[in-house]
Structure 1
Amino acid sequence: MARKLPSRTTSDDTKSARTRERILDSTAAVLSRKGYSETRLTDVAEEAELQSPAIYYYFKSREELIEEVMWAGIAHMREHVEGVLAALPPETSAMDRILAAAEAHLRFSLSVSSYTTAAIRNSGQMPERIRERHEAERAKYGRVWRKLFKDAADDGELRDGVDLLTVRMLVIGSLNWAAEWWTPRTSKIDNVVEQARQLISNGIAK
């Protein structure tokens, strides 16, 4: 039987995928630091250690590249938080699920994903023409949090008079804002997580 030769296409595809990922990683890093208006393809190329024209082999435009990073930032966050929630024991209370989601959100955005940091910091700067995919993913993530708070209300675990929409938006807004002010020099991430858990628990739980 003739021996099958290794596929050159597979090897080339793998190299291409790695380069594409490096471009996306570099874009997320630059976007996190400089913001949408100041991010240039030359900055991305320098971060990725590529020539600028090489980026156009993978992405048609700067906007397409940034759109992909912004979408991935929210998508990865949602998948991470959903994974954390799915791993909790079935008997976990609704309030404890909110606290677990808050911790997962903070740890992921502050210490794991520059994509998520970029998405949080630049969501208000994106032009309308490239917002649709990002906004659709934000809506999916919002539904995760909406269910968490509804379950807590249905189980009688929230304080009387809590407005679900207002409180949910305040909590998510506070979690997102941490990406703007926190650095490892500010305080340990464990402390940020613990303070967030206490604020949420003491503020809305019965």
Structure 2
Amino acid sequence: MPQRTTDTTEPESSGPKSSRTRERLLDAAALVLARKGFAGTRLSDIAEEAAVQAPAIYYYYPSREDLIEEVMFVGAAAMRAHLTDALAALPANATPVDRISTAVEAHLRHELEISDYAKAIIRNGNQLPEQVGRRALAEIAGYNDIWRTLVAELESTGQLRADVEPAVGRMIVLGALNWAAEWWNPERGPIGELIRTAQSMVLHSLRP
């Protein structure tokens, strides 16, 4: 296993190298946030994960909070874009059931397989000071709006149970999907099995 080297040079203020370092810092911060939470995340942990000296972070971000704010915003925007792209890839004749099933898979794959940023958001979204979470919360609201539309489509076609209040049903579904980040790991079985089970349970709970 190659040894990790630590960059001790002063970073360039712009250019490809600077962009790569910024991306490395964001990736490292997302990973540490997902593991340790907002209160437990230290710049020294992020620096170690990114293989840079801790003081170098200040060339890119004025403070720990500024770095975390960027991680949360980038991650939330990526979650929203991933769901939007997954739904856009469906055929024009996709049913509301098809769309919700696709949304369940998109959420779980992004949360568990694709992005540490998603785990960071799910585990820290309610812990952030307002100024740190403001941009991310706007993206999360947009994500929730997509789900609101999916449930409304199900209701408009007579496929939502009469005893399910749409907003409550939507939040319970998202809460259950988010909770998978706390307990699932590949040793429990393939992610496809989890997705199929989640799709079945979500659709059976929402439809008559």
Q: TM exceeds 0.5?
A: yes
In structure 2, which of residues 114, 117, 120 is the aligned counterpart of residue 118 of structure 1? Answer: 120
- Offset of 1:204 from its aligned partner? 1.3
Structure-to-structure mapping, 1:1-206, within 5 angstroms: 13-206=15-208
Query: Aligned equivalents of 1:15 and 1:143: distance in 2?
Result: 37
1:5 alignment partner in structure 2: none
**SS at structure 2 position matched to 1:149:** helix
- Offset of 1:97 from its aligned partner? 0.3
- Offset of 1:131 from its aligned partner? 2.0
TM-score by length of 2: 0.91
- Offset of 1:112 from its aligned partner? 0.2
Quick one: which amino acid aligns to residue 24 of structure 1? L
The CA deviation string for residues 48-106 of structure 1, in whole angstroms up to 9 with x for no partner, is 00001111111010001001111122110110010000010011101210110011000
**SS at structure 2 position matched to 1:161:** coil
Query: Aligned equivalents of 1:134 and 1:84: distance in 2?
Result: 21
- Offset of 1:38 from its aligned partner? 0.8
1:72–1:116 Cα contact (<8 Å) kept: no
Query: Aligned equivalents of 1:179 and 1:72: distance in 2?
Result: 19
Structure showing greater radius of gyration is: 1
Query: Aligned equivalents of 2:31 and 2:187: distance in 1?
Result: 19
Query: Aligned equivalents of 1:101 and 1:23: distance in 2?
Result: 30
- Offset of 1:187 from its aligned partner? 2.5
Query: Aligned equivalents of 1:125 and 1:28: distance in 2?
Result: 15
Query: Aligned equivalents of 2:38 and 2:157: distance in 1?
Result: 42
Query: Aligned equivalents of 2:38 and 2:188: distance in 1?
Result: 25
The CA deviation string for residues 109-130 of structure 1, in whole angstroms up to 9 with x for no partner, is 1000001110111111112231
Query: Aligned equivalents of 2:188 and 2:69: distance in 1?
Result: 30
The CA deviation string for residues 158-200 of structure 1, in whole angstroms up to 9 with x for no partner, is 1222210110000011111111111112222111101100101
TM-score by length of 1: 0.92
Structure 1: state its 5+ residue gaps. Answer: 1-11
